[in-house]
A and B are shown apart, each in its own frame.
Chain A
Amino acid sequence: MMMSAQAYGDKGKMKEYHYTGPVEHKFSPYAFNGGTVLAVAGEDFALVASDTRLSEGYSIHSRDSPKCYKLTDTTVIGCSGFHGDCLTLTKIIEARLKMYKHSNNKNMTSGAIAAMLSTILYGRRFFPYYVYNIIGGLDEEGRGAVYSFDPVGSYQRDTYKAGGSASAMLQPLLDNQIGFKNMENVEQVPLSLEKAVQLVKDVFISAAERDVYTGDALKICIITKEGVREEIVPLRKD
């Protein structure tokens, strides 16, 4: 009996090769460029942090492409997802800020920017901007504010939020350390600026360990009534 390695089926007939004709590969207008953003709001400060790695597939495009963009002296936005849409969206927001300043003779507040961004994103409901946005800033009373968005414009005000590729790893840790979730008999001290910065650094170091898209460097934008200050911390480069 002839031993053969043929695919077994159809009563011993030789199985046909799977040539179904020329295959058309659909063009995708989106790409995923990785990156993680994080924002924390305190009593009188806000932090927006992001890693600086820009990747695609298994390659790295750039090790120095931060995802935080300064909008005003009191507001910073973090955008991650498809880099092309991040750049276009931030250009549009900056143009709209200028238009508002010229017609209303004042700068936009954080809450106003958030509401505006929601309408901009929903305007593209049927061909969305592939961007995960988080706005961090100070509200009219000088208290920290964080607004988190989904790609089509749904938003809410938070105390802290992580977005981007490692968001699922960071969010539970923030829930525990800032929101004091799943802990009892703990003194619920409001977060100080030093502790918040330390927490953000530790959390990104851990994210870089396990998420391949996060690494290279971390840029933290610290927003206080004095303005916006930047801090850069190196992360794993592998």
Chain B
Amino acid sequence: MATVSVCQYHRGGFSFENCKRNALLEADINKLGFSSPAARKTGTTICGVVYKDGVVLGADTRATEGMVVADKNCSKIHYISPNVYCCGAGTAADTEMTTQIISSNLELHSLSTGRLPRVATANRMLKQMLFRYQGYIGAALVLGGVDCTGPHLYSIYPHGSTDKLPYVTMGSGSLAAMAVFEDRYRPNMEEEEAKRLVRDAIAAGIFNDLGSGSNIDLCVITKGKVDYLRPHDVANKKGVREDKIYGRPVTGNYRYKHGTTGVLAKTVTPLNLEVVEENVQTMDTS
């Protein structure tokens, strides 16, 4: 006689059971007229370029929630290891957590091997994790760094495919940035030229793509040195209101005077407390 078992053995790999349930719930919610909370995406323009001595990574700094700017100055270039950094586009939580997990695992790996981590290792770890989640982790990454084998640059897509290229762009502003790269990239550039190229590519994304904006962050990685330039270029400042006659900034006065928020009632209840017992415990600061 066969017994009916409620619990089915987990066969390994990620369980996608709840995805169908989530889809049904989402449809139900939409029928009622409500919308489920949108995950904050970064909109974004990110890019990277390999030059003579290393790699230059660039990113904008706008995070959007739908078509409203949620963060005007968020940091999209994430630390992976002292010689490897990663720009992230897509769902903000996914890029943040994914890069932190791989950074942590890479540090353990580096301690185990006793060597500086390689960019290819970080790439392998990231792609294997993203593939395991079958694209449900919405992280599109530009991974760059310099290791014992030289400078390397990878682009990693949410489903887990990677491309090893001399110049890459990702995010909603990737087309604008790639247009700049295709026009002016050449192999073995000098550092200043590479920084200018990446800055201009991100600027193209910032001004022509509505999902990207604010400032330009740059990360220049060479053998033995990392320049994390945040911000490298403040491309957009909040509008300064100018006085036409004197030319000095004049803003409307929006300060509230005391008493603007009406106090309707005020009750003071004194708490009668008396010291019953006093106990001093020293902290061990040795």
Tell me if A5 and B68 are in contact (CB < 8 A).
no
Tell me if A195 and B12 are in contact (CB < 8 A).
no
Q: A5-B14, A8-B16, A177-B254 are in contact. Are A238 and B132 (CB under 8 A)?
A: no
Q: Does A1 contact B (CB under 8 A)?
A: yes
Q: Does A160 contact B (CB under 8 A)?
A: no
Tell me if B262 and A184 are in contact (CB < 8 A).
yes
Tell me if B208 and A209 are in contact (CB < 8 A).
no
Instruction: Give the residue name and chain of the B residue nearest to A187 (CB).
Output: B257
Tell me if B238 and A212 are in contact (CB < 8 A).
no
Residues of B within 8 A of A1 (CB): 11-12
Give which listed residue, B68, B172, B206, contacts A238 with CB less than 8 A. B206
Report the number of A-B residue pairs with Cβ-Cβ less than 8 Å: 102
Give which listed residue, A6, A12, A198, A233, contacts B252 with CB less than 8 A. A198
Tell me if B17 and A212 are in contact (CB < 8 A).
no
Bound together, the chains give a CA A58 to CA B172 distance in angstroms of 8
Q: A165-B67, A205-B241 are in contact. Are A212 and B14 (CB under 8 A)?
A: no
Residues of B within 8 A of A55 (CB): 210
- The contact string, 1 if C-beta is below 8 Å from chain B, for chain A 178-193, is 0000011110000000
Tell me if B67 and A211 are in contact (CB < 8 A).
yes
Bound together, the chains give a CA A195 to CA B12 distance in angstroms of 67
Residues of B within 8 A of A186 (CB): 257, 260
Residues of B within 8 A of A4 (CB): 11-13
**B188 CB, nearest partner CB in chain A, Å:** 32
Bound together, the chains give a CA A184 to CA B213 distance in angstroms of 39
Bound together, the chains give a CA A215 to CA B213 distance in angstroms of 12
Bound together, the chains give a CA A12 to CA B8 distance in angstroms of 11
Tell me if B260 and A238 are in contact (CB < 8 A).
no
Tell me if B62 and A205 are in contact (CB < 8 A).
no
Tell me if B17 and A184 are in contact (CB < 8 A).
no
Give which listed residue, B13, B43, B172, B213, contacts A3 with CB less than 8 A. B13
Give which listed residue, A7, A58, A198, contacts B16 with CB less than 8 A. A7
Give which listed residue, B172, B236, B257, B261, contacts A236 with CB less than 8 A. B236
Q: Does B29 contact A (CB under 8 A)?
A: no
Q: Does B158 contact A (CB under 8 A)?
A: no
Bound together, the chains give a CA A199 to CA B210 distance in angstroms of 26
Bound together, the chains give a CA A60 to CA B239 distance in angstroms of 20
Tell me if B235 and A238 are in contact (CB < 8 A).
yes
Q: Does B212 contact A (CB under 8 A)?
A: yes
Q: Does B36 contact A (CB under 8 A)?
A: no
Q: Does B117 contact A (CB under 8 A)?
A: no
Tell me if A58 and B262 are in contact (CB < 8 A).
no
Q: A60-B210, A185-B259, A238-B207 are in contact. Are A209 and B238 (CB under 8 A)?
A: yes
Give which listed residue, A8, A60, A202, contacts B208 with CB less than 8 A. A60
**A236 CB, nearest partner CB in chain B, Å:** 5
Give which listed residue, B15, B172, B206, B212, contacts A8 with CB less than 8 A. B15
Bound together, the chains give a CA A134 to CA B138 distance in angstroms of 41
Q: Does A59 contact B (CB under 8 A)?
A: yes
Tell me if A58 and B241 are in contact (CB < 8 A).
no
Q: Does B281 contact A (CB under 8 A)?
A: no
Most chain B C-beta atoms within 10 Å of own C-beta, residue among A1, A9, A58, A236: A58
Give which listed residue, B14, B134, B260, contacts A185 with CB less than 8 A. B260
Q: Does B64 contact A (CB under 8 A)?
A: yes
**A10 CB, nearest partner CB in chain B, Å:** 11
Tell me if B132 and A5 are in contact (CB < 8 A).
yes
Residues of A within 8 A of B15 (CB): 8
Instruction: Give the residue name and chain of the B residue nearest to A201 (CB).
Output: B241
Instruction: Give the residue name and chain of the B residue nearest to A185 (CB).
Output: B259
Give which listed residue, A183, A208, A210, A234, contacts B260 with CB less than 8 A. A183
Q: Does A130 contact B (CB under 8 A)?
A: no
Residues of B within 8 A of A212 (CB): 43, 64, 67-69, 210-211, 213
Bound together, the chains give a CA A55 to CA B64 distance in angstroms of 17
Enumerate 5 A-B pairs (CB-CB under 8 Å) in ascending A order. Answer: A7-B16, A9-B16, A58-B172, A238-B207, A238-B212
**Given A4-B12, A9-B20, A183-B261; 14 other pairs, CB 8 A cutoff:** A5-B12, A5-B14, A5-B132, A8-B15, A8-B16, A8-B17, A58-B209, A185-B262, A201-B241, A205-B238, A211-B67, A212-B213, A236-B238, A238-B206
